[in-house]
Structure 1
């Protein structure tokens, strides 16, 4: 009876965490790894540190539309 509820709560927590990370601009490494293994199995997966640095660089490199 409660196993379905436990699964639902776990999924809700996962989605809430992902949403919060996206709202504050933190990249989601688990989603990246899943995507790479599923869609690009021939490519190497970056370490968390490499992924974080690349996402930070991409975020701050995109300065179109800013005046400063």
Structure 2
């Protein structure tokens, strides 16, 4: 029973982070280890910066109309 509560808490936490736009670095690391084991992984800071730029349009483009 406690495993289910813990799992539900992790999913809820992930959902909340995604709703407010915070990237999930742990999911990225798990994905990279499982699917791309030979490729280098970004640090948390690089990952966060890349996600912010992708969301808000960094590096030369605003990504927004206003």
TM-score, normalising length: structure 1? 0.85
Q: Which residue of 1 aligns with 2:65?
A: 67
Shift in Å, 1:56: 0.5
Q: Distance in 2 between matches of 1:34 and 1:7?
A: 20
Count of residue pairs the alignment pairs up: 62
Q: Larger helix proportion, structure 1 or 2?
A: 1
Query: What is the root-mean-square deviation of aligned Cα atoms in Å?
Result: 1.2
Consecutive unaligned residues in structure 2, runs of 5 or more: none
Larger Cα-atom Rg = 1
TM-score, normalising length: structure 2? 0.87
User: Which consecutive aligned stretches of 4+ in structure 1 deviate over 6 angstroms post-superposition?
Assistant: none
